Amino acid sequence: MSSDGEEQRQDLVDPLLRAHIHQLCSALGGSHASETGQYVLGGEALACLKDLKRWLKGYDEKLNRLDVARCMAECRLVTGDLLEIIASWSEVEVEDKVKAKIVLACVELLVPLTWPLDRDPAKLTLNHHKHMAVLEYAQAAYKNGLLHHRSGAVLTGIVRVCLPSIALSPKERTERDEGIIKLVLYLFRNIALIEHPNPSETDTGEEISRDVTIETFHNQNIFDFLLTISSGIGDDFNYQDTVVMETLYHLLKGVDIEKLFMTDKVQSAKSISQLETLLNMEKDLKAKNARAQSTRHSRFGTTVWVQKSDGRRVTVSGQDVLADKSKGLEKVDNSKRWKKPKNRGGKGDGPTANDFDMTVALKGSSKRILRNFVELFLDTGFNRMVSISPDYVDVSELTNVK
């Protein structure tokens, strides 16, 4: 990067703030110098994570800024540190309370860093416009790291954080236990929601597509975790219904449910039938347009003008317009051609969370996985979910687990 570009980047954030965040990220830990390259925690790793959380909550959220999140993205905090810490937490260390606290602190940072960016025009400031585009790509990178980490067990490690709280009966759970469960669920909601901000021919975002998300959730038993929560709504879990429904919505949004439950043979036959229908419609449309067009000889003999009710005049040609007084206006209407409207949106206007009519085509493997999950959910958790009233939560409440 040139000196001018580096100076411009530095001006976006207070240099003292950037230096402090970079120092905390550096003190968190790093890869070992040996051939294995194993991640080694710093001596004050837990304190560093708590300080980073305080900065994110006390500076960005209270002041309605994105400076700390931008600094963390520049430091590669998520992909370079947090995911490595979670992946290093093996199953044999489940009883290690210190390591469990460190991984929980990582999850408390991941939730606000992957939280959907607020695009309310009434709340947007110049600071948001400076950082939002960068953070959109950063969140896509976070999702890519969570789904494709070389350990293949990051999401499983995140679930392990809340297992001690789930094992307790509802009467034994404290507010902290309920908060940990919701924290993990909201992280999975965020992962399902994140999409590539601006897909292109060279960067399609296929690595974080719906197919990849569904297959990774299946391989790391996240669907089993969601079924466990949804099947216990109302009895074992009283505050997690809304976040589970949101997660399911973002996994199923745009999926053709009729095709989801079709066999490959039936869907292939229906696709052929739909293709034949479209070809016939195209043939009829071409024939209709050909009849509406005027020919060289049809213009001989007569050219008349028709005055509309608003005073405008339209000229039509051909002797057939004299046969009927309404024939002229009908010929004008038939000669009209539809023009596709130009896209008035700016560049990068990709799909949003509220594109209800968006269509998503799933591959065969991910479609079978999702179909099996939906069938199990309808059998075990649907009736419980729809009988519970919604419970809305703000991100600031989730990141305040003590």
pLDDT at 214: 95
Mean of pLDDT values over 80-105: 90
Q: Is the pLDDT of residue 355 over 60?
A: no
Q: In angstroms, what CA-CA distances link 93 with 132, 168, 184, 350?
A: 38, 20, 19, 42
Between 393 and 134, name the one with better pLDDT.
134
pLDDT at 362: 86
Rounded (10°) CA dihedral 37, 41, 43, 44 = 150
Q: Which of 74-83, 192-201, 212-221, 311-320 is predicted with the least confidence, judged by mean pLDDT?
A: 311-320
Q: What tokens does 50 get? A: 């708590």
pLDDT at 306: 66
Mean of pLDDT values over 7-24: 80
Q: Which of 63, 81, 84 has the alpha carbon at shortest distance from 72?
A: 81
Q: In angstroms, what CA-CA distances link 327 with 241, 305, 338, 357?
A: 62, 12, 21, 39
Q: Hey, where are the domains in the chain?
A: 14-261+349-398
**pLDDT classification of 11: cutoffs 50, 70, 90:** low
Amino acid at 285: L
pLDDT at 402: 52
Q: Is the pLDDT of residue 334 over 90?
A: no
Q: Is 75 helix (H, G, I), strand (E, B) or coil?
A: coil
pLDDT at 137: 94
Strand 39-41, strand 313-317: pairing: unpaired
Q: Which of 195, 64, 50, 55 has the alpha carbon at shortest distance from 136?
A: 195
Q: How many CA atoms lie within 13 Å of 319's alpha carbon, on the beta-carbon side?
A: 5
pTM tops 0.85, yes or no: no
Q: Which of 279, 277, 260 has the alpha carbon at shortest distance from 369?
A: 260
pLDDT at 111: 95
Percent of the chain scored above 90 by pLDDT? Answer: 41
Note the pLDDT tens digit of each residue in 119-164.
888 888 888 888 999 999 999 999 999 999 998 889 999 999 999 9
**pLDDT classification of 266: cutoffs 50, 70, 90:** low
Between 266 and 187, name the one with better pLDDT.
187
Is residue 387 within 8 Å of residue 234, measured between CB atoms?
A: yes
314 φ, ψ (degrees, to nearest 5):
-125, 130
